[in-house]
A and B are shown apart, each in its own frame.
Chain A
Amino acid sequence: MFRLIWHQLGGHAGRSMALLAGVLLATTSFVVLTGSVTTSRLQATDAVGQSTRSSQHILVRPQGSRTPVEVARKLVRPDGLLDPSGGITTTQYRQIAGIAGVDVAAPVAMLGYAKTTVPLPLDLTDAIDRSLDRQVIRVDPTFVTDRELSTARGKPRYVYVTKHPLIHPVLGDRWSDNALTYSDGRTYASECGIAVREVLPSGGTEPVCSPTWSAAEYPSVSERDLWRIEAVRLLPDGRFQPADILRAGEAPRPPTERLMVSIEVTAPMALAAVDPEAEQRLVGLDEAVVAGRPLRATDTPIDEIPARLPIRSIPVVATGQPALDSVVNTTYTRLAPQRVTGLTAAELDRELGRIGGVAAGAGRLDVADGVRATADGGTGAGTLDTLVPAGPAEYRQLPDGGLEVHTVRRTPLDTVRGSGPKPWLADDVAFHPIGADAVAVPAGVSTVQWRAVGVYDPRRLAGELYQPPVATGADEVSREALEDRRLAPSGEPGGYLTAPPMLLTTLAAVPKLLLATDPRIAAPISSIRVRVSDVDGYDERSAERVRLVAERIAATTGLDVDVVLGSSPAPQTIHLPAGAFGRPALKLRENWTALGVAPVITKAVDRKSVALFLLVLVVCALFLGNAVSAAVHARAPDLAVLACVGWPARGLGVLIVGEVTAIGLASGPLALGLALPIAAAIDVDVGWQRAWLAVPIALLLAWAAGAAPALRAARAHPMAALRPPALHARWIHRRRTLAGLAMVNVANRPARTALGAGALAIAVAALIMLGAVGYAFRSAIVGSFLGEAVSLSVRTADMVAVAGTVMLGVAAVTDVLYLNVRERAGELATLQAMGWSDRTLARLLVYEGAVIGTLGGATGAGLGFAGAAWFVGEVPASLVATAAVGGAGAVLLSGLAGLVHARLQCRLPTHRSLAKE
């Protein structure tokens, strides 16, 4: 029997090689493709694990603090950690910290926005004409934010530069506008409040009058409308001597080489209270301090009582990277007015506004630089006479899934706060409701201020608390308006985007900072970020561990608890109404936090992996089955002869199994030898166990595939296998045409047709199923950055699986084509001998190919489409397109195969083919 098998294989070398190639291809493909599926899964799991390696796993917020949108979409809004209304008590915080499994619980209490005045320095040296005896530099400011979409012109500021001496008031403990003592030792009655005076050539003096506002009206004046005039003397040596109003005992500033003045703007600075030790353990706050010292839990407000101005200082660490988009653009104009001194502020305003001048330069002042300068490397201080709390924005869900932000009606009380002027953006459209003022100013204290003990770099801190919100244009118009940049917080408490805290103080400072009547005294904490012990990135064990801890927290405290392990930034489309200062309505893509993304992705990855694995398995099995069936089918007459001479079915089975086994055993090591370098080349991990398992599985499949035709050959009466086909496709009309003949040929050889069409159906169905698997996967993970990251990470491996599977289908067609050429050589040679031209023969074979292609394509498209619809659960248009393309491709491919078949046939010597027949 072995000898017979050996002779059969050797005697039909071409057929044997085709079968060997088929088994080799199927086994290699199986190893590589399943390897690519496994690699894809590992990459996806790794991507999920890495992306979810967060410092915090659970977010605890006050009960009922979730907004309707958050609840409906399982999201956490970008400012979800910073609800200024508090709601969590320190007792609850301690309970959470003590729960088993909690590694760190880090609270944050958002207290509100401090309205700090920030000086922005201007260098006007180059704007000066040193030849002039007197001149005024007009500084025209334009307040800019929202990536230059919101702009507002402010009233000009003036700098009066004179070569004449200037004298300035020296204020004692008490003073009167009627009798101010000046630096020349004389007393002058003021015409316009506390003003610098110029010494005229006549020896007399005249004041340089700036406008004045009462303490009561000053907070209601917009910083846009503030103006003043500063006086500077240009000394004979070319230096500049500023004329300051000094207190008794204070020394005047020395002359400077440069003419430096400043514009003061208000910078709302968000103040939050944290537990420094917990913050250090959670995000390493101490390590992020780049100047000064870290905040300590023992840092509490200090009442400094100097001689005249008692001040309460709140210790803070200030950000070194304020997330502020706020700029003041300035232009300089040199004026040569007839008169400056001796005019009232109103007269001066009219005079300077009336005359023209010479353009003398421009500047751009970044408010963030002013904030940094105010912190002064961890030693600076700023006003804290008000804390403006801003509540969460509200949204209306639009039919297209977008969220339209509600605007909030402002009241004067919302904007007129503290002692400084009204920020220019207080007149803009607001989206966050402003709460009641909250700063406690104790008796005997004139001012409350924040005082920096250090400066931290938020870029060194992980976690959403410290990161600026991310919002980009969601449509072409908005992207164009934003010039493809991110929209950034303006700093205005009512503005849409909320900046991360710029000042951090201790929870211990809160009772001394807030009014005793403030409900937040009892429950100041806005949110608590919890890290669970022994959890590093998302996996099933970690997820379960975190879930249990979250349940314990909820049960113990009754607070709203969200598991953020496995969450991901998820862009939401925000419809932002137009602002009052020119910003058009924008459609934004803002990153919110989607909860439970990792489990969904992990499930989708697993589902996709299983589906792809099965698909690869089925395609490889079908391909192998097709190849073996085709090979054994080609041997049907031989088998029938053996059956005729008395071979039992068992004997024929042994023969086929023996042949297939020999081929399988030869191809197994070859397949492994081929698969390993291919897998290495395309960076696919091939498991050895699976690789070795592929050989016996391939053998089993080959046996199964060979059994059917072998049994057919060993049927009770084998003569049918030796007799030419007796089917007559009478239903086919016009049989005397080439197309009719092609139809007859296809119809009268059902087995051969089935093999060819089957191969095509495999390819087309596989293509559609691959599309369906990909579609289902993308649909499941779409909408979050993690999903996009995972999708990107697995793209290569998935492409390998898709390309490999489709190529396998094409190879199946090629295999059947090759066997067809061998089988039909004699028949086609007869036609050639009858005088058929190569062209006519080619047309016949192309027609046959097209018919088989139509059958296979339609069958494959139908099967693939049905399978895809079942798998996806819907019928997306892309799958319909894939099915159509796949079906058309099958017809094209088989037509092309017919052409190749014809060319191969034409190369064979006719007499040899006839001799075989």
Chain B
Amino acid sequence: MSFDVRVARVVKRFPSGAHVLTAIDDLSFDVPAGAAVAITGPSGSGKSTLLHLIGALEPADAGTITVGPLELTTLHRRQLPDYRRRIGFVFQRYHLLSALTVLDNVVAPTLPYRNPRDPTNRARELLDAVGLAGRERALPAELSGGEQQRVAIARALIGDPGLLLADEPTGNLGAATGAQILDLLLQLRRERGMTILLATHEQHIAARCDRLIRLGGGRVVEDLNLTDGEDPALTLRRVGGLRL
């Protein structure tokens, strides 16, 4: 099951010394269920903040965000953990728990809850799916950046999320590794039918999504549909002509 996402007139500000920095400024867009959307824009354009707001990791100052049947701004704080376990979040800096093994990191989100099935098997399947079979007992410090990101993706998928939010999932990786990660995400989307919102500033990553939303100064400056039957090479060129 995948979630649609509706962002309506959302505002997010941060205090910055004596000033207030507006990270998201009256932002609105809709994403249908099952879509893969690239959120692009220069540094400071609000990409990460947008994903944090949709992931309920931070509250919006104004506007509404609706994910599937849930309107996030109306959720009580006690409902937020349940929402978070039903979506997946991949951080740019992985944020793995350094003391835990790869397997334990993947299982970690399920631990506070009663699970009808043993989540360990599911975690092994996911690690297999992300190409880390056999590395279950390794510690994060023993993995490369790409491998750590794969663990983070597996962890994000352990709850069979209807929405996957990925913040620069390939930002710290080489081109080849980044491509592999993206392949993995798109493959998982196909298999599980989840919605993906992916923040990136890499052209070749954005070009492989269904849609591209470019942010600037916290607002949508361009919203492109990339699935109109266009040749991927052409799409890449077209996207490349844009200033991501």
Q: Which of A7, A647, A716, A728 contacts B100 (CB 8 A)?
A: A7
Q: How many chain A residues have a CB neighbour from B under 8 Å?
A: 32
B59, A717: Cβ atoms closer than 8 Å: yes
A719, B52: Cβ atoms closer than 8 Å: yes
Q: Interface stretch among A143-151, A169-177, A637-645?
A: A637-645
Q: Residue among B18, B81, B85 with the most chain A CB within 10 A?
A: B81
On chain A, the residues within 8 Å of B57 by CB distance are 644, 717-719
Interface residues as binary, B52-79 with A (CB distance below 8 Å gives 1, 0 otherwise): 1001111100000000000000000110
In this assembly, does A680 line the interface, its C-beta being within 8 Å of a C-beta of chain B? no
B112, A645: Cβ atoms closer than 8 Å: no
CA gap between A822 and B179 in the complex, in Å: 36
CA gap between A268 and B159 in the complex, in Å: 109
A643-B104 contact given A1-B111, A638-B97, CB 8 Å threshold: no
In this assembly, does A720 line the interface, its C-beta being within 8 Å of a C-beta of chain B? yes
Q: Which of A645, A654, A716, A726 contacts B89 (CB 8 A)?
A: A645
A12, B99: Cβ atoms closer than 8 Å: yes
A648-B99 contact given A4-B108, A642-B108, CB 8 Å threshold: no
A645-B58 contact given A11-B99, A11-B139, A730-B18, CB 8 Å threshold: no
A8, B58: Cβ atoms closer than 8 Å: no
A647-B139 contact given A638-B97, A719-B57, A726-B16, CB 8 Å threshold: no
On chain B, the residues within 8 Å of A641 by CB distance are 91, 95-97
Residues from 86 to 104 in B contacting A, C-beta threshold 8 Å = 86, 89, 91, 95-101, 104
On chain A, the residues within 8 Å of B55 by CB distance are 644
A8-B84 contact given A650-B112, A651-B111, CB 8 Å threshold: no
Residues from 643 to 665 in A contacting B, C-beta threshold 8 Å = 643-651, 654
On chain A, the residues within 8 Å of B228 by CB distance are none
Q: Which of B14, B18, B59, B141 contacts A726 (CB 8 A)?
A: B14
On chain B, the residues within 8 Å of A651 by CB distance are 81, 111-113
B98, A11: Cβ atoms closer than 8 Å: yes
In this assembly, does A682 line the interface, its C-beta being within 8 Å of a C-beta of chain B? no
A647-B89 contact given A11-B98, A11-B99, CB 8 Å threshold: no
On chain A, the residues within 8 Å of B141 by CB distance are 915
B99, A7: Cβ atoms closer than 8 Å: yes
Residues from 1 to 54 in A contacting B, C-beta threshold 8 Å = 1, 3-4, 7-8, 10-12
CA gap between A108 and B119 in the complex, in Å: 96
Binding site secondary structure of chain A = helix
On chain B, the residues within 8 Å of A1 by CB distance are 111-112
Q: Residue among A8, A11, A654, A728 with the most chain B CB within 10 A?
A: A11
A1 to chain B, nearest CB (A): 5
A915 to chain B, nearest CB (A): 8
A3, B95: Cβ atoms closer than 8 Å: no
CA gap between A718 and B56 in the complex, in Å: 9
Q: Residue among B91, B100, B111, B156 with the most chain A CB within 10 A?
A: B111
A643-B111 contact given A7-B104, A716-B59, A717-B57, CB 8 Å threshold: no
B14, A4: Cβ atoms closer than 8 Å: no
Q: Residue among A1, A638, A646, A649 with the most chain B CB within 10 A?
A: A646
A648-B15 contact given A717-B57, A717-B58, A720-B58, CB 8 Å threshold: no
On chain A, the residues within 8 Å of B82 by CB distance are 646, 648
Residues from 113 to 151 in B contacting A, C-beta threshold 8 Å = 113, 139, 141
In this assembly, does B217 line the interface, its C-beta being within 8 Å of a C-beta of chain A? no
CA gap between A646 and B104 in the complex, in Å: 15
CA gap between A12 and B98 in the complex, in Å: 9
In this assembly, does B214 line the interface, its C-beta being within 8 Å of a C-beta of chain A? no
A645, B59: Cβ atoms closer than 8 Å: no
A232 to chain B, nearest CB (A): 111
A726, B58: Cβ atoms closer than 8 Å: no
In this assembly, does A722 line the interface, its C-beta being within 8 Å of a C-beta of chain B? yes
On chain B, the residues within 8 Å of A720 by CB distance are 58
B17, A730: Cβ atoms closer than 8 Å: yes
Q: Which of B52, B77, B89, B100 contacts A4 (CB 8 A)?
A: B100
A875 to chain B, nearest CB (A): 42
On chain A, the residues within 8 Å of B18 by CB distance are 730
What is the total of A-B residue contacts with beta carbons within 8 Å? 97
B111 to chain A, nearest CB (A): 5
On chain B, the residues within 8 Å of A718 by CB distance are 57
Residues from 180 to 212 in B contacting A, C-beta threshold 8 Å = none
On chain A, the residues within 8 Å of B85 by CB distance are 645-646
Interface residues as binary, A875-917 with B (CB distance below 8 Å gives 1, 0 otherwise): 0000000000000000000000000000000000000000100
B99, A645: Cβ atoms closer than 8 Å: no
A647-B109 contact given A12-B99, A641-B95, CB 8 Å threshold: yes
Interface residues as binary, B154-170 with A (CB distance below 8 Å gives 1, 0 otherwise): 01100100000000000
CA gap between A728 and B18 in the complex, in Å: 9
Q: Which of B112, B156, B159 contacts A654 (CB 8 A)?
A: B112
A722, B109: Cβ atoms closer than 8 Å: no
CA gap between A649 and B78 in the complex, in Å: 8
CA gap between A11 and B96 in the complex, in Å: 13
On chain A, the residues within 8 Å of B156 by CB distance are 645
A644-B111 contact given A4-B100, A11-B139, A716-B80, CB 8 Å threshold: no
B95 to chain A, nearest CB (A): 4
The closest CB in chain A to the CB of B80 belongs to A716
Q: Which of A637, A648, A726 contacts B81 (CB 8 A)?
A: A648
On chain A, the residues within 8 Å of B52 by CB distance are 719
CA gap between A715 and B100 in the complex, in Å: 23
Residues from 704 to 718 in A contacting B, C-beta threshold 8 Å = 716-718
Q: Residue among B15, B108, B112, B156 with the most chain A CB within 10 A?
A: B112
On chain B, the residues within 8 Å of A11 by CB distance are 97-100, 139
CA gap between A720 and B97 in the complex, in Å: 17
The closest CB in chain B to the CB of A643 belongs to B81
B161 to chain A, nearest CB (A): 10
A645, B155: Cβ atoms closer than 8 Å: yes
On chain B, the residues within 8 Å of A647 by CB distance are 81, 108-109, 111-112
A724 to chain B, nearest CB (A): 11
On chain B, the residues within 8 Å of A728 by CB distance are 16-17
CA gap between A141 and B85 in the complex, in Å: 112
The closest CB in chain B to the CB of A714 belongs to B81
A646, B78: Cβ atoms closer than 8 Å: no
A648, B78: Cβ atoms closer than 8 Å: yes
On chain A, the residues within 8 Å of B77 by CB distance are 716
CA gap between A10 and B55 in the complex, in Å: 31
CA gap between A603 and B78 in the complex, in Å: 53
On chain B, the residues within 8 Å of A719 by CB distance are 52, 57-58
CA gap between A730 and B17 in the complex, in Å: 7
CA gap between A643 and B58 in the complex, in Å: 12
CA gap between A643 and B14 in the complex, in Å: 21
CA gap between A720 and B156 in the complex, in Å: 20
The closest CB in chain B to the CB of A8 belongs to B99
CA gap between A647 and B155 in the complex, in Å: 13
CA gap between A4 and B123 in the complex, in Å: 15
A646-B111 contact given A10-B99, A726-B15, CB 8 Å threshold: no
B160 to chain A, nearest CB (A): 12
B95, A644: Cβ atoms closer than 8 Å: yes
A3-B112 contact given A8-B99, A644-B89, CB 8 Å threshold: no
CA gap between A644 and B108 in the complex, in Å: 11
B49 to chain A, nearest CB (A): 9
The 9 closest A-B pairs by CB, nearest first: A11-B99, A651-B112, A646-B85, A716-B77, A648-B81, A719-B57, A646-B84, A645-B109, A641-B95
Q: What are 24 inter-chain pairs, A to B, with CB distance below 8 A?
A: A1-B112, A4-B100, A7-B101, A8-B97, A11-B139, A12-B99, A643-B81, A644-B55, A645-B156, A646-B81, A646-B82, A646-B86, A646-B109, A646-B159, A647-B81, A648-B82, A649-B78, A651-B111, A651-B112, A716-B77, A719-B57, A722-B95, A726-B15, A730-B17
Given A7-B104, A638-B99, A728-B16, 15 further pairs, Cβ under 8 A: A1-B111, A3-B104, A4-B104, A4-B111, A10-B99, A642-B108, A642-B109, A644-B55, A644-B84, A644-B89, A644-B91, A645-B89, A646-B109, A647-B112, A726-B14
